[in-house]
Amino acid sequence: MSLIGAKVLRKEDPNLITGQGQYVDDLAPAGCAFMAMVRSTEPHARIVAVDTSAARSMDGVLAVWTSADIAGLPARPSSLPGMDMPLIAGDAARFVGDIVAVVVATDRYTAADAAEAVIVDYEPLPAVASLAQALAADAPMIHPVLQGNTVFFQDYTEDLSAEFAAAPRTASLSLVNNRCAPVPIEPNVVLADWGPAGLTVWAAFQAPHHLRNTIAAFFGISQDTTRVIAPDVGGGFGAKINFASEIFLAAALSRALSRPVKYTQTRSECMVAMFHGRAQEHKVDVAFDDSGKILALKVQVTQDQGAYPDATGMGLPVLTTAMSAGCYKIPKVAVSWRNVVTNTTPVAAYRGAGRPEASYMIERVIDLVADETGVDPIEVRKTNFIPADGFPYQTHSPLAVYDSGNFAGALDELLRHVDYPALKAEQAARLADPNAKLLGIGFSSWLEIAGFGPPGSLEAFGHLASWESAQVRVQPDGSAIIYTGASPHGQGTVTTFAQIAADQLGIDFERISVRHGDTAVIPQGIGTMGSRAVAVGGEGVKTASTRVFERAKKIAAHLLEATEDDIVVENEEFHVRGTPSKSVPWSQVAWKSFQPLELPAGMEPGSLDATVFQQVPNFSFPSGAYCCVVEIDRETGEVEIRNMYLVDDCGTVINPMLVEGQVHGGVAQGIAQALYEHMQYDESGVPRTATLMDYLVPAAPDLPGYVSGRTVTLNPSNTLGAKGVGESGSVGAPPAVINAVVDALSHLGVKHIDMPATPQKIWSILRGSK
């Protein structure tokens, strides 16, 4: 029986839920010292002097470093030339949270006391706290090399003035995609141990091999003596593929002090130091006809990069503009983007990374067109969908060739769960009753680009390559170990990869282990990001398992004196098809695979071991249709999500329980962006939401129950047919929620409301209408 599609319990859980998991902070090698940071309290300031004398004289303090102490080291990797982020700020601090000095002490408490004893003399400089401030004439500059604050500008890819002039109708929309903090439960944590035999770094990281390669290059040491271990990792959401300066500082200090150095970020530090996500503004123009058919679309994205542009972060608007047409066949699309620096925390990947911004934009546009034409939003979607037989579909972007999809099918499946006519009737009845809460119904037909794997796709972001490694090794007792380069941080990869391998090998799921996250055990790998683990890494496990199984069949055929083509496996027994009595157990085949005298001619011992570097020809394109039903309290402006209907199409489902978990988590983060979370700065660049008291991560009781459905459109780029699902919910949920909120208020003439839709914002609208 196939395990693909089976609701198998997670192999990871017994360890994690009994407190036996091992996170970096759990490790404490002998002699371990502790690092603490002195961070800038100024958004933008010249650093006049850093007085470390009091800190240095404290008992237990081993080192206090300022920028002078790292003179020989490069800037943080993934920086842009001339706009480098130094590991420790030198002449100037450029955001609240910028590292100004580093302290190492024999324990965490002393390190914290010493960090507080460092005195920094700042001379405040004018700061830019927002895109508007950064782009104003005569705006203060952050990086003199720029002659302004724009790092890169791409003008509209096409002139659509003729199309817009000829169109029966046009409309425009300005959108803010609110800055979010990733807030994984485990913040950035690192332990570095640099000894005579080499450097070992334990880090809460999503791509340990990427980090190994980068650390080795950074210090000019060789990769054979550089080892990176990502043990259990408590969430990442994209933020743990960023090269946090702390990682390199811990290694440098370990080298200098000849002892292990550990750093555990506090939550307060994490809020300002871990790179943020989203932070885009969109200017959108759409041309359409009376039927709601979209004729042309112009999108200009302005990306806030924070104080130091990150190479990955620079790619966010590229992905947003590539996916700007969403599920729709729009004859003409012109895109433009600019990357702008501000005196804020740098911005890079956060769950969805550029794609939630695109789906939010185009799904708001669809509802705007519906509102302008009076055509129902469902009809506008159906009118403009790329048809199910329209694939492969070349979009306006060379990056995105949609390979499969069934957008109308997903919407139809959604409408089987949603009684739309009844909701419309209820909405009208509530509108007529001044004591009733307002009802809003919002849809999103969303699509994203995922499965980062085609050659070149990750190289563009500084990775070694875009394949994923998989090794399948059968042990002498017939159990198997899978080694994957796609190191997980909560995805359940240990379970899903064992399911995939069990199917191909005919070995019991319980006797398959999955290893990951240690570059000494898995020599090469890429990592877990961009919803790629199953679509690329899982496919690799399948390929390697198939190779091993073919060799095992050869051995079994030799032992059974039968022909290979007649060999089948059942219940861990190889037998000749139709002759179950003539059999040999997997354990025997495994044992003998190491004994030269037992092997068929030409087969080497130890051959039940295969490594592949799995390549895929294209990205994957998960899609779906969501519906959100909200109630709005007319007196307080509070939005409550009554129902959330979710139809996902991630292709083949390996484990429905884990897919549901990924969708629920992503949707929770999407709802959070739509209603709660917003990283805000005051006009001078001081963060206003730097604690979890002010930055509103919703709790479980704030989230609705979900009704889930599914359509399955196979991914043609791998044999599994799986597309990836890690980011889907965060892509699909925000537009559904905001479309519902706008729908509830549309009788007041409301065309748009920026995220998060807070009670005060809505109360202001409701009050203004009286």
Partner 1 sequence: MGMIPARFDYRQAGSVAEALQLLASCDDAKLLAGGHSLVPLMKMRLVSPSTLIDISGIAELQGVTDAGSVLRVGALTRHRVVERSQVVAQHVPLLAHVAGLVGDPQVRNRGTIGGSLVHGDPAADLPSVALATGATMVVTGSGGERRIAASDFFVDFLETAVGPDEILTAIEFPKRTGAGFGYEKFVRRSMDYAIVGVAVQAGEQPGIALVNMGSVPRRADAASRALASGAGVDAVAALAADGTNPPEDLNANADYRRHLASVLTKRALLAAGYR
Burial of 665 (0-12, 13-18, 19+ CB in 10 A): middle
Q: Which is nearer to partner 1, 265 or 614 (CB)?
A: 265
Helix (H, G, I), strand (E, B) or coil at 497: helix
Among 69, 113, 403, 660, binds partner 1 (CB under 8 A): 113
Phi and psi angles of residue 573, each rounded to the nearest 5 degrees, phi first: -120, 130
Q: How far is the CB of 762 from partner 1 (least distance, A)?
A: 11
- CA distance readout (Å), 527 to 199, 453, 534: 20, 11, 11
Query: Which of the stretches 120-128, 266-274, 506-514, 731-739 binds partner 1 when contact is defined by CB under 8 A?
Result: 266-274
Burial 172-198 (b: 16+ CB within 10 A, else e): ebebbbbbbbbbbebbbbbbbbbeeee
- Alpha-carbon distance 770 to 102, whole Å? 56
Of the candidate spans 107-115, 444-452, 526-534, 600-608, the one that interacts with partner 1 by CB under 8 A turns out to be 107-115
Candidate list 389, 760, 768, 770; residue touching partner 1; CB under 8 A: 760
CB of 698 to partner 1, least distance (A): 6
Cα distance between residue 417 and residue 770, in whole Å: 36
* Separation of alpha carbons 354 and 357, rounded Å: 5
Applying CB under 8 A, which of residues 53, 172, 174, 266 lies at the interface with partner 1?
A: 266
Q: Is 26 in the site for partner 1 (CB under 8 A)?
A: no
Using CA atoms, how far residue 134 sits from 143, 151, 180, 342, 344, in Å, is 12, 11, 19, 6, 11
Residue nearer to partner 1 on the CB measure, 391 or 763: 763
Nearer to partner 1, 39 or 554 (CB): 39
Stretch that binds partner 1, among 139-147, 249-257, 695-703, 707-715 (CB under 8 A): 695-703
Q: Is the alpha carbon torsion for 539, 464, 354, 403 positive or negative?
A: negative
Stretch that binds partner 1, among 339-347, 429-437, 498-506, 699-707 (CB under 8 A): 699-707
Please report which helix (H) or strand (E) contains residue 745, including its range. helix 728-745
Q: In angstroms, rounded to a whole number, what is the distance separating the alpha carbons of residues 423 and 528? A: 40
CB of residue 112 vs partner 1: minimum separation in angstroms?
Answer: 4
Q: Is residue 39 at the binding interface for partner 1, with CB under 8 A as the rule?
A: yes
Scanning 152-160, 228-236, 685-693, 722-730 for contacts with partner 1 by CB under 8 A, the matching segment is: 685-693
Catalogue the E-assigned strands of 78-234: 92-93, 99-105, 119-124, 150-154, 169-177, 189-195, 198-203, 226-229
Q: Which is nearer to partner 1, 267 or 577 (CB)?
A: 267
Neighbours of 474 (CB within 10 A): 29
Of 174, 291, 636, 769, the residue at the interface with partner 1 (CB under 8 A) is 636
> For residues 310 and 685, what is the distance between their CA atoms, to the nearest angstrom?
19
Residues between 664 and 683 with contacts to partner 1, criterion CB under 8 A: 676, 680
Regarding 269 and contact with partner 1 (CB under 8 A), the answer is yes
Contacting partner 1 within 730-759 (CB under 8 A): 758-759
Q: Does 109 bind partner 1 (CB under 8 A)?
A: yes
Q: Which of 159, 635, 640, 683 binds partner 1 (CB under 8 A)?
A: 635
Contact flag: residue 106 with partner 1 (CB under 8 A): no
Residue 702 within binding range of partner 1, rule CB under 8 A: yes
What are 470's two structure tokens? Answer: 């998989």
CB 399 within 8 A of CB 460: no
Q: Does residue 260 have a cis peptide bond before it, meaning omega lies within 30 degrees of 0? A: no
The yes or no reply on residue 701 touching partner 1 (CB under 8 A) is yes
Among 116, 510, 570, 640, binds partner 1 (CB under 8 A): 116
Residues that bind partner 1 (CB under 8 A): 37, 39, 108-109, 112-113, 116, 266-269, 635-636, 638, 676, 680, 688-689, 691, 694, 696, 698-699, 701-702, 758-760, 763-764, 767
